[in-house]
Amino acid sequence: MGPAVQSRAALEDRELVQKLLAKDAEAQGFLYQTYRDRLYRTCVYILGYQDRDAEDLVHETFMEVLRDLPQFKFQSSLSWWMRQVCVHQCFKQLRKRKRWVMRLDEELEALSGPADMEKPRQEQQEQRKQKILETIEAQRPLLGKPCQEILELRETSGKSYAELSQMLQVPIGTVMSRLARCKEALKELVIRALPKEHL
């Protein structure tokens, strides 16, 4: 991009920002129409095709951009800045998903962990744990092949999110979403199948 084009783009950014700061509805509509598809492609690149949160994250990006616009210093193009805001929103969502997956890990672990202190006998504890482990294994086939595959790779083979992303040819965000859904489904199956005395 030549200097003249850069100057014209910078001038257009300043004019648009001024109108946006003045709460110009037409300028807000122009901003959305111009950048919506670009931001959506950014979300898809990070989170995966048809990710359920992509549209929401685009909306949240516009909200953050409009809120923080008074602090925009024109040290970059408006387009680049908006994309950085969008990337930040996407990685914030990935961190949230990672915490969700970890919480589900802990809940499944708790199901197969030691019994509470009201059942002090070691034999009872071992029987309970064995029953839960057997139930987990018995319910896995009910999840379907995609869930069985990703749980096997993650839990048994110990693959990282990055390795799973490469093996399955999907973004890391898709890996996290799929793992979370599969673990949640497995937990529900196990809880339904277990006798109440083992919960």
50 phi-psi bin (left φ>0, alpha ψ -120 to 50, beta other) = left
User: What are the residues whose beta carbons fall under 8 Å from the beta carbon of 134, sequence distance 6 or more?
Assistant: none
Cα–Cα distance for residue pair 182/176, rounded to 1 Å: 10
The pLDDT assigned to 125 comes to 67
Name the segment(s) of the chain with CATH classification 1.10.10.10: 112-198
Model pTM score: 0.57
* pLDDT, tens digit, 9 for 90 and up, residues 117-170: 454 566 666 777 777 777 888 888 888 888 888 888 887 778 888 888 888 888
Name the segment(s) of the chain with CATH classification 1.10.1740.10: 3-93
Tokens 């993650």, residue?
A: 154
pLDDT digit string (tens) for the chain, length 199 residues = 444 444 455 568 899 999 999 999 999 999 999 999 999 999 988 888 778 888 999 999 999 999 999 999 888 899 999 999 999 999 888 888 788 777 777 777 776 655 444 545 666 667 777 777 778 888 888 888 888 888 888 877 788 888 888 888 888 888 888 888 888 888 888 888 876 544 4
* Candidates 1.10.3720.10, 3.30.360.10, 1.10.10.10, 3.40.50.1820; CATH matching 112-198: 1.10.10.10
User: Within its chain, how far is the Cα of 89 from the centroid?
Assistant: 10
**CATH class, range 3-93:** mainly alpha
